[in-house]
Amino acid sequence: MVFLEIFAWAVLTWYVFVISLIIFGWITIWFIKSKNRIHDEKDLTEALPGVSILRPLKGLDPRLYECLESTFVQKYPKFEIILSVADETDPAVLVAKEVIKKYSKVDARIIIGDERIGQNPKINNLIRSEREAKYDILWILDSNIWISQGCIKRSVKSLMTPGVQLVHHLPVCIASSSRPSVGSCLDEMFLSTFHARMYSAINRIAVTPCVIGKSNLFRRISLLSRAPKGLKEFSNYIAEDHLIATTLWTRRKSHFMAAEYVWHPVDNIRISDYITRRIRWIRLRKYVVTVPTLVEPFTESILSGFLGVWSISILSNFRHAYILWIIHMFVWMVMDYTQFNILRSSLPSEIKDDSNLTPCCYNFFHWICIWVLREILAFPIWVIGISGSQIYWRNQTFTLRSDMTAQIVY
C-alpha cells in the first residue's frame, strides 16, 4: 500500500509537470502573438549583412509558387536566392523559372543536379548551394514554407544578438483548400495545438536544442568552426536539422525562436498520409531524442488525464474519477481551441488577401470532430511509430539506425 501511494505521488508529480508545460506553452504562444506585429522598417540600412537563402526543391508542394514568391518580395538590401533541384525533369523547375522570370531584378538562380555524397537527399540537394552561396549567413528554407515580408530582416537582427548561433521559426500549418480533406485538417490540428505548444515551451525554457528544419538561419563560419565539412558532415543522417542545431548549440539561449511564424500550406491529403507523416516523425525522434519520444503518449490529453485522475483517486479516495477526467479533457480542449484561434488570428494580411492561400473556415462542430479524432489517433500512431524503423520520405524508403544514420531501401 505504501508503494502504491509513493507511485501515485510520482504519477501526480508527472501530471502536474505536464499540465505546467502545457500552460507555459500556451502562454508562450499568446506572448508571441502579442509581439507578432508589423515592425517599422525605417531602420533598414545597407549595414545589414548579406543573406543567402537556400531553398531545396523536389516535386510540386502545395502552393509552391506562392511559397517561393514570398522569398522574392522580401524587404532587405542584400540577399540572394538559390533554388536547387536534383533532377532537371522535376516539375518544380518550371515553377522556379516562372518566379525568377517575374522577379528578374532579384539576385536568384536555379542549380540543377545534386551531389550524391550521402543518404540524405536534402543534403545532397543543398551541397552545391552551400558551396556557391556568396554570403556568410545561410537561410535554409523548405520549399513548402511561406514567409511574410520583412521576415528576413527581423530574423537577421535576431541572429546578430550576441551569443545567438541559430534562428528558427515555429511552422504553422494552414489547410488552404476551401473544402479541406480530413487528413489536411488533422495535419493542421496537430501542428497548431500539441506540436506548437510543446515546441514553443521547450524553446522558451531553452535547456536543450529543439529545432525543426523548416526555416533555419545560421552563419556558415559558425558551422564550419564546429563541423569543418559543413553540410557534408550530416549527409548520412535524415534528422540533419536536429544535428545541425545540436552542433551550433554552445550554451543556453544560443538558439533563438523568432517572435513570428512561418506558414506551411497543406492541400487535400488523405488520413493515411497524415498518419504516415506522424509515424515518420516518431521514428526519427526515437533515435534522436529517445526519452522524450518514449514518454510522449503520457504528455497527450487522454493518457495524461488518465494518469492524473488515477493518482488523485488513489491519494484522496475520490470515487467519481470519471468526472475529473471529463473536466480535464474539457479544459484541455478549450486551451487547444483558443490556441488554434490565436495562431489563426496571426495570419499575415498577404495570406488573408490571397485566394490561393486563404485557409478554410471551421465551424465549432467541425473543429471538435477533428480535435477528437486527432487525440484518439495519437496513441495508436505512436505505437506503430515506436515499433518500426523504416520511413517513407519524398518518394523514397529509408531504414533508420540507432546511430541516427539512414540507409536508402532500393
Q: Are residues 226 and 334 in the same domain?
A: no
Residue 36 pLDDT: 60
Q: Are residues 329 and 237 in the same domain?
A: no
Q: Are residues 252 and 369 in the same domain?
A: no
Residue 33 lies in a domain: no
Q: Are residues 103 and 250 in the same domain?
A: yes
DSSP-assigned letter for residue 362:
P
Pairing relation of β-strands 215-219 and 255-266?
A: unpaired
CATH code, domain with 203: 3.90.550.10
Residue 38 lies in a domain: no
Distances (CA, A) of 403 to 223, 227, 239, 247: 21, 18, 11, 16
CA-closest candidate to residue 213, choices 275, 153, 139, 150? 139
pTM: 0.91
Residue 394 pLDDT: 78
* Contacts (Cβ under 8 Å, ≥6 apart) of 250: 163, 165
Whether the CB-CB separation of 275 and 379 falls below 8 Å is answered with: no
Q: Are residues 117 and 165 in the same domain?
A: yes
Whether the CB-CB separation of 120 and 235 falls below 8 Å is answered with: yes
Q: Are residues 8 and 68 in the same domain?
A: no
Q: Which residue has the cell 537561410?
A: 139
Q: Residue 409: which H helix or E strand, with range?
A: strand 406-409
For Cα atoms 325, 330, 332, give the angle at the middle one, nearest 5 degrees: 95
- Strand order across the 406-409 sheet: 390-393, 396-400, 406-409
State how many domains the chain has: 2
- Domain hosting 365: range is 2-26+290-409
Q: Are residues 260 and 304 in the same domain?
A: no
Distance CA 204, CA 181 (A): 33
Q: Are residues 59 and 146 in the same domain?
A: yes
Q: Which residue has the cell 500552460?
A: 23
Residue 42 pLDDT: 53
Q: Are residues 382 and 295 in the same domain?
A: yes
Q: Are residues 225 and 349 in the same domain?
A: no
Residue 354 lies in a domain: yes
Residue 183 lies in a domain: yes
Residue 32 pLDDT: 79
Residue 357 lies in a domain: yes
Residue 309 lies in a domain: yes
Catalytic residues: 241
Residue 145 lies in a domain: yes
Residue 86 pLDDT: 93
Residue 38 pLDDT: 47
Query: Rg of the chain's alpha carbons, rounded to an integer?
Result: 22
Per-residue pLDDT tens listing for the chain (410 residues): 788 999 999 999 999 999 999 999 999 998 877 666 545 455 555 578 999 999 999 999 999 999 999 999 998 999 999 999 999 999 999 999 999 999 999 999 999 999 999 999 999 999 999 999 999 999 999 999 999 988 999 999 999 999 999 999 999 998 877 778 999 999 999 999 999 999 999 998 887 888 988 999 999 999 999 999 999 999 999 889 999 999 999 777 789 998 889 999 988 889 999 999 999 999 999 998 899 999 999 999 999 999 999 999 998 887 788 899 999 999 999 999 999 999 988 888 777 777 667 677 788 999 999 999 999 999 999 999 999 999 988 788 999 998 888 888 87
Whether the CB-CB separation of 252 and 50 falls below 8 Å is answered with: no
Q: Are residues 216 and 144 in the same domain?
A: yes
12, three cell numbers: 501526480
* Contacts (Cβ under 8 Å, ≥6 apart) of 66: 146, 265, 354, 356, 357
Amino acid at 37: R
Residue 343 lies in a domain: yes
Q: Are residues 65 and 181 in the same domain?
A: yes
Pairing relation of β-strands 79-85 and 108-112?
A: parallel
Distance CA 215, CA 231 (A): 16
Task: For residue 206, give the 3-state DSSP assignment.
Answer: coil
59, three cell numbers: 516535386
Phi and psi of 113, rounded to 5°?
110, 120
Phi and psi of 127, rounded to 5°?
-55, -50
Task: For residue 314, give the 3-state DSSP assignment.
Answer: helix
Distance CA 129, CA 375 (A): 40
